[in-house]
Chain A
């Protein structure tokens, strides 16, 4: 995004305390998560040798970057609390939010099922489910779409360009 579009967006926004509150919470949350990641990162890097300045070890760069990220995360927390530019966070609501959460959850479940069921079973399931959730089509249409598309993807990628696809656990 360019500076001019950001400025325009700020000016166009209406007075909405809820959305402003959401922005603040979101940014503070992101910063806190950043601090947590920093802690885990620095904790994990404790076993790496720093070496000396003339023979730096594998731990030097992670230490510098970890500290920089920690400071940046703190900055994000403070900037979020102050929110001087009065920015707002608009998240989807109602039906849109439901669809969004289902779509994300379905993808997470799919990626967990993939090593168990393999591509040939999980992919048609995901395709059919997405068509049902997003397009609200009848089940048989969704099933047909899932199977036909998965076969097409299989032919193009696995057969023609010989990409290996995830196999089911039992194969």
Chain B
């Protein structure tokens, strides 16, 4: 199917009443979850994941994708109003966004510019995705076990290197995730592994329970122990929302640059939405007209990053849909939702399941328009959600999480998994470990094993097979390069810090 033809077909699928409703529920829940303290798009997608198992697969993926980009937007709202980023991609919005809302008193117009910027960026990104995905899927048809093994293992290793923190901060949770992924019957010979005689464990651990525990409940524990400290936002009225002519004028270029930066980052492994928002902020602080106002409430510092994190969230769907490769934990949830429905994402998806492939892409376009409609007139509603006291919010989220964890398969073991994951998540985060690699390891680990074993079968045990194709060799080379570059950069920054510390001591 040609790209334009595919998109038109996708639009037909996306405007079917059930899918339209799924998109609406997705973006509305996503915004709400993004706004609520402590919950980001990942926790939101995890909370909803178990409930989508009974839905039609297209509607299920449309809903989870809606939560993903809805959550991105909601997270930025709290950054601007409260200086509390809903998730990492919204951290930069606390810099100039919060300054604009407080010192300059321009909270409304800032949110407006962000909403329009998100929609512009998503639209731009979707247009590129439409043309890019089929090409990538065609390319993916050349992939055999060696290439898939290379791209998945390199993806995970590169991710551990670019996500921040030390290598061990990422490898430790990553391997816990892969370990957890081996529990249950394995895919090739159906042998039971690590079930300790528990029948319920043969089907493996439940991803939803792990993700909700790590990202939802663990955050609720933190919130409960800090209850009463959440600042109260000011009311934002609709009539105060419209940007001035100057604000409009200054936002166009950052939207454009942010969209391009975000789209490119979304295609790469790593926490692309957050990295792209940082990259866009840096870019704007160097090239934009208002660069002198950076840190004091420059509109460019809000418009650029917001556009880029939305563009990245959209283009991140490309590797998931056309290669079956998720590069962030939320995308891993989307991949696993597809697999639960018996759909194998990958190069054959556009031809075998055009409904899902094109329907989901088209729904992102519609979902972003919905987001615009939901966010501008209803901003007051979202802001009011911030006023829900912790002692009511936290217990409700916990109970819904339990309902979700149990409801997916009706195993009590999933509720216990939730409890263990929540405590582990709280402690690991405090100890400086990153949690997202755990989810990626859990989802990708079993796939890596399948490709490894298939590759060995095919090559009759010849290990050279894994480095025999040009694609695999390129991937390994790029990964090694990333390792070296990050290492050199770290040495530089460490030396610089040391020098600064020495100079500071001399000055004293």
Q: Which residues of A contact B (CB under 8 A)?
A: 1-7, 11, 23, 26-27, 30-31, 34, 37, 41, 44-45, 48-49, 52-58, 60-62, 65-66, 68-69, 72-73, 75-76, 79, 87, 89-92, 96-97, 99-100, 103-104, 107-108, 110-111, 114-115, 119, 123, 126-127, 130-131, 133-135, 137, 145, 149-150, 153, 157, 161-166
Contacts and interface: CB of A to CB of B under 8 A. Distances in A.
20 contacts: A6-B165, A30-B172, A34-B172, A41-B179, A45-B193, A54-B461, A55-B456, A57-B189, A57-B191, A69-B178, A72-B168, A90-B430, A99-B227, A100-B224, A104-B422, A126-B395, A134-B395, A149-B396, A161-B51, A164-B407
Nearest to B194: A44
Contact of B164 (A2, A37, A54, A68): A2
B457 A54 contact: yes
Interface in B412-443: 412, 415-416, 418-419, 422-423, 426-428, 430-434
SS of B interface (majority):
helix
A111 B418 CA distance: 9
Given A53-B461, A61-B452, A123 B423 contact: no
A55 B455 CA distance: 10
B171 interface: yes
B463 A53 contact: yes
A51 B68 CA distance: 42
A30 B173 CA distance: 11
Contacts of B166: 79
CB-CB nearest 10 A-B residue pairs: A135-B391, A53-B461, A54-B461, A163-B407, A100-B225, A130-B395, A134-B391, A58-B191, A69-B175, A61-B449
B286 interface: no
Contacts of A69: 175-176, 178-179
A89 B427 CA distance: 10
B58 interface: no
Contacts of A48: 191, 193
A12 to B, nearest CB: 13
Given A1-B88, A53-B456, A103-B225, A41 B194 contact: yes
Contacts of A73: 172
SS of A interface (majority):
helix
Contacts of B431: 23, 26-27, 30, 89
Contacts of B463: 53
Chain B interface: which size bin? 35 or more
A89 B428 CA distance: 11
B221 interface: yes
Nearest to A57: B189
A55 B306 CA distance: 50
Nearest to A9: B432
B389 A44 contact: no
A26 to B, nearest CB: 5
Nearest to A73: B172
Nearest to A44: B194
Most A CB contacts (10 A, CB to CB) among B165, B182, B416, B493 go to: B182
A48 B278 CA distance: 46
B149 to A, nearest CB: 12
A72 B497 contact: no
B217 interface: yes
Contacts of B165: 1, 3, 6
B403 A163 contact: yes
Nearest to A109: B419
A56 B407 contact: no
Nearest to B174: A72
Interface of B: 51, 54, 88, 91, 163-166, 168, 171-172, 175-176, 178-179, 182, 186, 188-189, 191, 193-194, 196, 217, 221, 224-227, 271, 274-275, 278, 389-392, 394-396, 398-400, 402-404, 406-407, 410, 412, 415-416, 418-419, 422-423, 426-428, 430-434, 445, 449, 452-453, 456-457, 459-461, 463, 493, 497
A100 B179 contact: no
Contacts of A58: 186, 188-189, 191, 193
Given A65-B179, A89-B430, A91-B430, A126 B399 contact: yes
Given A2-B275, A100-B224, A127 B396 contact: yes
B194 A79 contact: no
A75 B170 CA distance: 12
Given A5-B164, A111-B415, A137 B391 contact: yes
B225 A96 contact: yes
A149 B404 CA distance: 16
Given A65-B445, A104-B423, A134 B394 contact: yes
A114 B412 contact: yes
B195 to A, nearest CB: 9
Nearest to A78: B168
A97 to B, nearest CB: 7
Contacts of B449: 61
A90 B259 CA distance: 38
A20 to B, nearest CB: 13
A107 B225 contact: no
B171 A72 contact: yes
Contact of A92 (B178, B225, B459): B225
